[in-house]
Structure 1
Amino acid sequence: MLISFKPKYAPSNIVKNLKGASARIWFKQYPETKQLLWGGHLWSPSYYMGTLGDMSKEVVEKYIESQYTEAMRRQLKGYYGKNR
């Protein structure tokens, strides 16, 4: 996920609000999934945040898209949850 925000906002608050809001929306739409998750939480308490550095936003978007494609390929081949 690639998000952009003004430097005046605290990164930890952005992540906390994003996780909280998306979890509320998810569980409202799919309430049955809450019992399937560890402790009923959609997100883990951890996150990673980094800056783009010398890369353009487009390069990072392509990288994220390629990771999604790889994850979907692995899931379709039955590797979901395996380290292969």
Structure 2
Amino acid sequence: MSEYVHKSHNVSVLLYHLVCPAKYRRVVFTPEVDGCLKEVCLEIAKRYEIQFVEIGTDKDHVHFLVQSVPMYSPTQIARVIKSITAREIFKRVPSVKKQLWGGEFWTKGYFVNTVGQKGNEKTIATYVRNQGREKEYQQLHREGSVKRTVYPLFQ
């Protein structure tokens, strides 16, 4: 879960729901790529002040629930995550390059949304965690706690 980040002149809790589709919406998130992605994200968390609260993959896109500090804009966070993960996945799982012939892993666009700490963080975290799990999605959808959102930008 998120925590208050204490700096010398501020205290913050900034949470972002970031959705990044693979280039050409190709189905590239195999268990191997998924594991590699999560390892790389742990390395990013060590180097930058970006904490990954949840990561959920769903065949052709990834949902990240990230927490950061005010000095990083959502655009900078997306740029750091997308550039480092793309480079490392291509390096560690070379077979992905054959599926993505243009030399890019991610699409140019992304979706980002702020998440309230108390109001809907738990709901978004559950949604991100259960990406690609149809049974859990149906159960959550029936209970009314998560509404599946279709992002027109990525269709």
Q: Match for residue 17 of structure 1?
A: 80
Q: Match for residue 55 of structure 1?
A: 119
Q: Match for residue 64 of structure 1?
A: 128
Two-structure CA RMSD over aligned residues (Å): 1.7
Q: Match for residue 2 of structure 1?
A: 65
Whichever residue aligns with residue 128 of structure 2, its letter is I
- TM-score w.r.t. the length of structure 2 is 0.41
Q: Match for residue 31 of structure 1?
A: 94
**Structure 2 unmatched ranges of 5 or more:** 1-63, 135-155
Which is further off, 11-20 or 27-36? 27-36
**Structure 1 unmatched ranges of 5 or more:** 71-84
**Deviation for aligned residue 1:38:** 4.5
Q: In structure 2, what is the Cα distance between the partners aligned to 1:22 and 1:28?
A: 10
Identity across aligned pairs (percent)?
Answer: 33
More strand by percentage: 2
**Deviation for aligned residue 1:16:** 0.7
**Deviation for aligned residue 1:33:** 1.7
Shift >6 Å, 4+ stretches = none
- TM-score w.r.t. the length of structure 1 is 0.70
